[in-house]
Structure 1
């Protein structure tokens, strides 16, 4: 990775002596408008622990310790944690403290804790008093239930759109469908998850219903979290098969073949993971 490049989480890193080396962001001057984060309290400094959370005995978080820009730091941390969940870097059933994660990202525990609270609301983690946050353990039944709900929500919308949306609008989504194929070819679950979600959101956005898009994205994100005992890395062939369904579905939408759209969309969600 070149100096100033981004890792899979979108966080910038630097190289020194052949390895990724974290750089703790400089503290802003008083009145500097570029800073969106309050100064670090002593208890929030990386590695010091905070609010009774202890780092000893917990599993190490894999990957380099990247640099997080101070601007919009909370949003960056939230995205990085979501990516780590999908990639399986944060293991189901394991407990992670905000100070330990903050040390990895080169920030205080405060933005990490705030991001984890958001993930708690989303159902990805749960609070463990005086320890941190445990990644929720999920099984096949929950995944099947999510797929069923997504099908009930999205398939009728796709069928309605198939009858109403002009062909040229569907053609505009071709790059997104092709992007899912390229992402699947990488074999990276996190990369594919982003492309997959972008395609589905673009399809649903043609309905003009923002609430629908938001709810569908939340369900989609939940469906992408790893299962207990599942493979750390999904088979590249499975990702490619899923991505190929996007292009086939788009072809049917362009052709206004409602019957084929119904069949493909139903099968797509039946095999969703």
Structure 2
């Protein structure tokens, strides 16, 4: 596998497979038009009330097109999350924004912004004048995440088993089947995404957006691998077993069996972390 020509313990280790997570290079945003003079700008009812004519005024400039930049930053964030789950970004290693930016074909700015988001999520920590270090996680943290997820997801899913009509679960079968296909492929990052989509779809039926946000954050944290721990050693057979539990869980939800749902969710969270 080709390695980048930049990066070291001090300047950052490049991603091992740039083609898989490559995003398009940033495009420079066009310069904004000069701002209108304050005494000539009228907005809302104030200008209309005075009956002022606006056809000769300097137009209010359109805001800078931030959509492209946000899109690049989002793509970089997704790519970095995939690299975390797959193990390409290794726990304990320091990565610099310029080196990762070169690998992705973008400037260091969207990489740094994405890394700052990952720092808020607890995936990395800032190393002054060097970059970002991937956090080394222990088995205790994984167990604590499983416990908190169970406290949230178990009672919610038991309630959904009692209250959601059977036909509402039909739309989720393709999502459960997608986790099985992803597990069969043996790609941990692909499975992690399919797993999150399925769990989010189930919990979305609660109608609680705050719960969704908290649950998804905990789920994502639980997917980061440990150094030499069980999560980093999980192979295709483990992923397939987890995916099959999705099918069993959805069957129990459809038939309205809360006790079975409780047992399945607890076992599933213990297995997956």
Q: TM-score higher than 0.5 here?
A: yes
Aligned to 1:237: 237
- Measured in 2, the distance between the counterparts of 1:157 and 1:64 equals 40
For the Cα contact (< 8 Å) 2:124–2:133, is it kept in 1? Answer: yes
SS of the residue 1:173 aligns to: helix
Aligned to 2:201: 202
Paired residues for 1:159-170 under 5 Å? 159-170=158-169
Identify the range of structure 1 (61-70 vs 81-90) with the bigger mean alpha-carbon deviation.
61-70
Listed one character per residue, the Cα deviations across residues 13-56 of structure 1 (whole Å, up to 9, x for unaligned) are: xxxxxx99xxxxxxxxxxxxxxxxxxxxxxxxxx7xxxxx9886
TM-aligned CA deviation for residue 67 of structure 1: 3.8
Aligned to 2:191: 192
Q: Return the structure number with greater relative CO, CA threshold 8 A, min gap 6.
A: 2
Aligned to 1:41: none
Number of aligned pairs? 226
Aligned to 2:17: 63
For the Cα contact (< 8 Å) 1:99–1:108, is it kept in 2? Answer: yes
User: Residues 100 and 69 from structure 1, CA distance in 2 versus in 1: closer, same or farther, beyond 3 angstroms?
Assistant: closer
- Measured in 2, the distance between the counterparts of 1:220 and 1:209 equals 16
- Measured in 2, the distance between the counterparts of 1:167 and 1:159 equals 14
- Measured in 2, the distance between the counterparts of 1:67 and 1:189 equals 21
For the Cα contact (< 8 Å) 1:187–1:234, is it kept in 2? Answer: no
Aligned to 2:106: 107
- Measured in 2, the distance between the counterparts of 1:224 and 1:235 equals 14
- Measured in 2, the distance between the counterparts of 1:54 and 1:130 equals 14
Aligned to 1:44: none
- Measured in 1, the distance between the counterparts of 2:72 and 2:233 equals 28
TM-aligned CA deviation for residue 99 of structure 1: 0.3
For the Cα contact (< 8 Å) 1:55–1:99, is it kept in 2? Answer: no
Aligned to 2:259: 259
For the Cα contact (< 8 Å) 1:93–1:137, is it kept in 2? Answer: yes
What stretches of structure 1 move > 6 A for 4+ residues in a row?
none
Aligned to 2:156: 157
Identify the range of structure 1 (222-231 vs 210-219) with the bigger mean alpha-carbon deviation.
222-231
Q: For the pair shown, which has the larger CA radius of gyration, 1 or 2? A: 2
Greater helix share, structure number = 2
- Measured in 2, the distance between the counterparts of 1:125 and 1:247 equals 34
User: Residues 246 and 54 from structure 1, CA distance in 2 versus in 1: closer, same or farther, beyond 3 angstroms?
Assistant: closer
- Measured in 2, the distance between the counterparts of 1:271 and 1:211 equals 25
SS of the residue 1:172 aligns to: helix
SS of the residue 2:221 aligns to: helix
For the Cα contact (< 8 Å) 2:85–2:224, is it kept in 1? Answer: yes
Residue 136 (str. 1) matches residue 90 (str. 2): no
Aligned to 2:54: none
User: Residues 140 and 270 from structure 1, CA distance in 2 versus in 1: closer, same or farther, beyond 3 angstroms?
Assistant: same
For the Cα contact (< 8 Å) 1:98–1:113, is it kept in 2? Answer: yes
TM-score by length of 1: 0.78
- Measured in 1, the distance between the counterparts of 2:214 and 2:173 equals 24
Residue 271 (str. 1) matches residue 227 (str. 2): no
TM-aligned CA deviation for residue 177 of structure 1: 0.5
